[in-house]
Amino acid sequence: MEECPALIRKYGQVIQRYYVQYLSVYDAVALNKFMQSLTHISEEDSIILSSICKPFLTHVGRLRTQTTSSTFGAPTRLDAATELHFFLWE
C-alpha cells in the first residue's frame, strides 16, 4: 500500500498527460453524444443544458491544448483536475 503514493508521485505527469490527451476527450465526446440523444426534453431544457455543457467542452479543449503544447520532457499541469473541478462549480 505504501508503494502506491510513491508510484503516483513518480508517474504523476504520465498519468495526467494520459488523462488530458485521451480520457478527457472521450468524456467530452460522450457528453456531446449524450446531449444530442436527449430527445425527450423540452427545447428550453435543451438550451439550458447546452449552455451549461458548452463552456465545459471548451474548457476541456483548452486544457488539452495547454498540456499537449508542452514538450515531452516539460512538466505538465498537475492541477488540471482541480482546475476543472473549480470551473464546474463557478
Q: How many CA atoms does the CB half-sphere of 34 hold within 13 Å?
A: 10
- Length of the chain measured in residues: 90
- Return the higher-pLDDT residue of 55 and 67: 55
pLDDT over 90 for what percent of the chain? 0
Confidence label for 74 from pLDDT (cuts 50, 70 and 90): very low
What is the DSSP secondary-structure string of 18-85? HIIIIIHHHHHHHHHHHHHH--SS-HHHHHHHHHHHHHHHHHHHHHHHHHHTS-TTSPP-TTHHHHHH
**9 compared with 83, residue with greater pLDDT:** 9
**What's the mean pLDDT in 38-52?**
82
Prediction pTM value: 0.39
Closest CA to 32 of 57, 6, 68, 60: 57
